[in-house]
Structure 1
Amino acid sequence: MRTYVKKTNRGEIPKDIWMLAIKAIVENGMNISQAAREYNVPPKSLARNVKKYCSHQDSLSEVPEHNTFFIGYAKPKQIFTDEEEGALEEYLKKAGDIYFGLTPNGVKKLAFEFGTRRGIAIPAGWTKNQQAGSDWFTSYLSRHPSLSLRKPEATSMARMSSFNPQNVGVFFDNLIKVLSQYDIGPGSIWNIDETGITTVQRPDKIVARKCRKQIGAVTSQERGELVTLAMAVSALGNHIPLFFIFPRKRYYGTFIAQAPIGSIGTGNESGWMTEIAFNMFMKHFIEHTRPTPAKPILLLLDNHASHLSMEALNMAKTNGVVMLSFHCTVLTNCSLKKAPINIYDIPGIITTALPKAITPANIMSRFRVSGIMPLDRDIFAEEEEFAPSFFTDRPEADIIVAEVEVDSMVPTIDDILSATGVSDELVNVINQPYSSCFTVSPVTRTESSASSRSEKSLSTSLLEEIRPHPKAAPKKTTNKRKTKQTAILTSTPVKDAIEAEQSGSKSRIKRKLMEAEKEKKKNEMKKKKDEKKVSRGRPRKAIRKKKAVAAAEEEDWFCLVCQAPYSETTTPWVKCLGKTCTSWGHVDCVDPQFVCDECNGDLQA
């Protein structure tokens, strides 16, 4: 049963303690009562285990697998040993830390492959389904409480790879430089971030009829519209009025009639933050924070292209706003759930939800956990914090070849032992069953722990061989797009570099547009020239060639007099002088300037 709870502590004495007590009796001649008192074990159980051990030594087999000596309660339902399960636990933790975690089915398939490669006796159901069973997975999670099923948050590759020790170190260097140079306090440190709010939210689970394939929940639309909300908060827990961006070309003030007091908005086709919208936000931000060059403030923001507008950078520098860009933001995205709504209901929902979410305590806690205020550049000192950057932690090109050669070799037991520092005397202990070593030399707790470490190391190597952790390919040197890094955007060198880059981009775009327009005019002229009809002589070669290709579908040209087809004649042809007529005739059958009967009747009329 899955929920069985053991009611006694029987069988919880470690095997090492039992073996020390047994060998004290068998090898040193100590009596059972004295050994039971010294090692704190039950005397009757000790006597039974001594008898079992002696009979086991008398019937040793030549097959090492048959010489296993069990003490206490066996675990017939546990497929893997504690060391193997520990190695699997460490593997799953690392996979989750680098944002490439395994689903339950992925864990079951990995366990099946792991057991097969280790040569472990696995249940028949595993072999039939090519994966471990659900009962094993449930019991495995219960034996390892540090693991649990979690719903991951979608994270972009750029955000995952940019959060690494190098980028974080550069950001804190710039932060310390700005704080010391401008003497900025907590009340003058601001952070801006945008979040998208859609009119369609994922429905919650409901109670409904069983045995029915499709269960629905009403939403406003199957594909909702996005409204962007921009907000700035300070390290003291304050915030300025909100800034809305609606997906509308024409913006009206009635859009934010139900928004919090002081909010403003704008509109564009996408509903996203653009350079024009960010310029409006900067004016809104400066109006409410009132910075001056004598008393500047610090604005933290990400490196989105809309934040690098030269108009916004010049406005910030003129009014005493020091802009420091970085790769992650302090604010967290929030989701609002309600009945079917449209974009004009969102400001009213924000008015109700915002005071409960954006409290001074919540805002200050986000600045604290990011190490900005109070300043703590070592807040991400743990290795697990930067684990996601493992995927794009690329080595140099010459080192990559060496690593591939090493990874292609399967590690041997001797390699693992030498890497873990295990003594040569323990090689036999690791390669042979535990009980077959007692007649050679006593096994101490230190040697037993070393054996466990070696077994766990072997299992870890095998797991990484079965399913290697993902690793990004080497960077391409032909990438034209430059990666943005943390920088003080309002400093003169950085601002000049951004302006030069943007001016170069604009000139390249203008040149491409001019070339495209020139090519378009050239194609139009060529098309008009091709469509011009010849009024004398034989029909155009292009038309003849086209008619020859589609002879099975297109009708041939025939003389108005002799009805001979054009494809079977070699004499010149003459076209009717009618403006819209397409009739032709042999030069021998008609006059050089002839008018067909139909066109002649029209002229007379």
Structure 2
Amino acid sequence: MYHGKCIHTSPNVSTHKTPRPLFFADSVIMVRNYKRTTTRGQYGNESLGLTLRSVSTGTPLLMAAREFNIPARTLRRHRDGKVANPGVSQLGRHRIVLSTDVERELHHHVQYMEKVLYGLATTDVRRLAYNVAEKRKLNHPFSHEKRMAGKNWLYGFLSRHQDLSIRAPQGTNISRAVGFNKPKVQQFFGVYRQLLETQDFTPARVWNMDETGITNVHKPGKVLATKGIRQVGKMTSGERGKTVTVICAMNATGVYVPPMMIFPRKRMVDALMNGAPPQAVGYVSPSGWTDSDLFVKWLEHFASFTNATRDIQHIIILDGHHSHKTLAAVTFARQHEINLLTLPPHNIHKMQPLDRTYFKSLKTAYNAAADSWMVANPGKRISFFDIAGIFGKAFLRSASSEKAVHGFLTCGNWPYDENIFSDDDFAPSMVTDQDQPASDVPSVSAVPSTDDSSDDQATNSVAAPCAASDAPLPEENAPPPIVEVVRAAVDHPLTIADPPVSPDDIPDAVAGPSTDSSSQNASKYIKLKQ
């Protein structure tokens, strides 16, 4: 006997709900971030291929299935050729548009363009995928109107290559990209090695010196705010501030020279140095920047701090600013046995320890200290008389021995390592390299230049960049063979050619970035020895 509720239905009314259709005539409902709920097919193509080869050599099918943990029924279907692609494990009816090999070449091409600092945007990659599919005459769902692959394909491509991600690039000056090349770096390390061999230098006598700027208008840090507000503000001292130059130096053991601060004023006042780091010195200049006379003053400060004498030589690695190569600076360095070694131009972002490991943390600490000062002094502005105190807190907080030691290590200065930079580091310059004439190799002079011209006007060490059609890429840095690199433009979209096109078919704008700029200049190396 049934005691439940009786439901009366009409013959024309159905009690079953019609499920929502998953497939429509013009579209397919797909889950972009699908998470698997079973372990089917997780053995992969490699294990499946090994199992099939084992069976083909005489291993019983059931024994091979148990050994490789593959269902015997699946293995039998692949062995008998009852699947579309024997040896390939694939579930469902959806197929990847581009083959694994083509996606691998596309993946290598994306990484190559990243190394040479001409990274591809998401639209460039989608357009590239469309061109590949069209070139190979593949049946694809890509948009013919937009002439690019869809976003779903891009997300799938990124999910299949987990080492790729969408990043916001940092702008890099083309002079730095082209200037940091292997010949210049080898020349620098050659001179540096000769200098180290002249005397038994210790890490305590190898220094790096550079200038940086701080301002009374700081960059505020992140704050907690109400959700939904479009603009969140934080108080600063003004719209644009004035720069105070700070000269810092550190050695390979983690010791820092007390900094020199240069204020944009006419007269020096002792109150400007209130709260400055211990033993720090202060000077003034009309612009607030360093000049030839102030660099000599810093050399005197350095010699006083390190007790530099004829019996104890020191090496200072610094950039090639003209104020570092004046006759007064050279004379003082000779008298105190200070060896000045200048870096090649446009190379400090890679070869200067202070830039690699210290200045960023110093600026972050200074902004945090200035932020705290503004909160503690509401309604007041940071003046020149407050900067030294704020900078003093930031300097003491950020000047750690670990950063200094790691900076010299990453630049190959100490321990000495002329092979610290790999070919990937030189990749941006490879696209414009050509053979260097023997007459352009600079010689090391014992007497440095005494003029005020920039080191950018030194003897050429690398000839002018040329078009890629005249100077092909080196083999070890060349893109994959099926990749034809064409500038991302409307007339010449990025494409992958299959089979490879002949050189006559390549358009004029092509095969990687090129530049028409004049030849880059080598650095002047200063080795002071009496």
- State the TM-score, normalizing by the size of structure 2: 0.68
Letter in 1 for 2:72: P
Q: What are the residue-to-residue correspondences of 1:546-561 with 2, within 5 Å? A: none
* Distance verdict in 2 for CA 1:285–1:30, change over 3 Å: closer
Q: What are the residue-to-residue correspondences of 1:191-590 with 2, within 5 Å? A: 191-203=208-220, 216-327=233-344, 328=348, 329-332=352-355, 333-334=359-360, 335=363, 336-337=366-367, 338-339=370-371, 342=382, 344=384, 345-380=386-421, 382-395=422-435, 403-404=469-470, 468-473=511-516, 475=518, 483-491=521-529
Tell me how far apart the structure 2 counterparts of residues 484 and 21 of structure 1 sit (CA, whole Å). 59
Tell me how far apart the structure 2 counterparts of residues 209 and 459 of structure 1 sit (CA, whole Å). 57
- Is 1:94 paired with 2:112? yes
TM-aligned CA deviation for residue 74 of structure 1: 5.1
Letter in 2 for 1:10: R
The equivalent residue for 1:47 is: 76
Match of 1:6 among 22, 28, 36: 36
* Distance verdict in 2 for CA 1:406–1:98, change over 3 Å: closer
TM-aligned CA deviation for residue 132 of structure 1: 4.4
Q: RCO greater where, 1 or 2, for CA within 8 Å and sep 6 or more?
A: 2
The equivalent residue for 2:378 is: none
Tell me how far apart the structure 2 counterparts of residues 216 and 110 of structure 1 sit (CA, whole Å). 42
Native 8 Å contact 1:110 1:131 kept in 2: yes
- Is 1:186 paired with 2:203? yes
Q: What are the residue-to-residue correspondences of 1:98-137 with 2, within 5 Å? A: 98-123=116-141, 126-127=143-144, 131-137=148-154
Task: Render the CA deviation track for 1:301-352: whole Å, top value 9, x for unaligned.
Answer: 1111221122111111111111111133111232232436635233222222
TM-aligned CA deviation for residue 378 of structure 1: 2.2
Task: Render the CA deviation track for 1:45-94: whole Å, top value 9, x for unaligned.
Answer: 2334456x3587xxxxxxxxxx9996532583744332222222222222
TM-aligned CA deviation for residue 140 of structure 1: 3.0
Letter in 1 for 2:101: E
Native 8 Å contact 1:188 1:234 kept in 2: yes
TM-aligned CA deviation for residue 231 of structure 1: 0.7
TM-aligned CA deviation for residue 300 of structure 1: 0.9
- State the TM-score, normalizing by the size of structure 1: 0.60
Bigger radius of gyration, 1 or 2? 1
Native 8 Å contact 1:84 1:459 kept in 2: no
Native 8 Å contact 2:52 2:87 kept in 1: no
* Distance verdict in 2 for CA 1:15–1:189, change over 3 Å: closer
Native 8 Å contact 2:465 2:518 kept in 1: no
* Distance verdict in 2 for CA 1:375–1:458, change over 3 Å: farther
Letter in 2 for 1:363: A
The equivalent residue for 2:164 is: 147
* Distance verdict in 2 for CA 1:112–1:378, change over 3 Å: same
Tell me how far apart the structure 2 counterparts of residues 130 and 207 of structure 1 sit (CA, whole Å). 44
Tell me how far apart the structure 2 counterparts of residues 202 and 127 of structure 1 sit (CA, whole Å). 47
Q: Write 1 or 2 for the structure with the bigger share of helix.
A: 1
SS at match of 1:323: strand
Task: Render the CA deviation track for 1:192-239: whole Å, top value 9, x for unaligned.
Answer: 011222344555566667777655544333333222211111111111
Tell me how far apart the structure 2 counterparts of residues 236 and 171 of structure 1 sit (CA, whole Å). 22
Tell me how far apart the structure 2 counterparts of residues 252 and 157 of structure 1 sit (CA, whole Å). 42
TM-aligned CA deviation for residue 9 of structure 1: 3.9
Native 8 Å contact 1:98 1:389 kept in 2: yes
Letter in 2 for 1:373: W
TM-aligned CA deviation for residue 369 of structure 1: 1.9
* Distance verdict in 2 for CA 1:284–1:484, change over 3 Å: farther
The equivalent residue for 2:91 is: 73
* Count of paired positions: 427
Uncovered stretches (5+) of structure 2, i.e. residues with no partner: 1-30, 375-380, 437-462, 474-479, 483-495
* Distance verdict in 2 for CA 1:395–1:165, change over 3 Å: closer
Native 8 Å contact 1:174 1:488 kept in 2: no
Letter in 2 for 1:239: Y
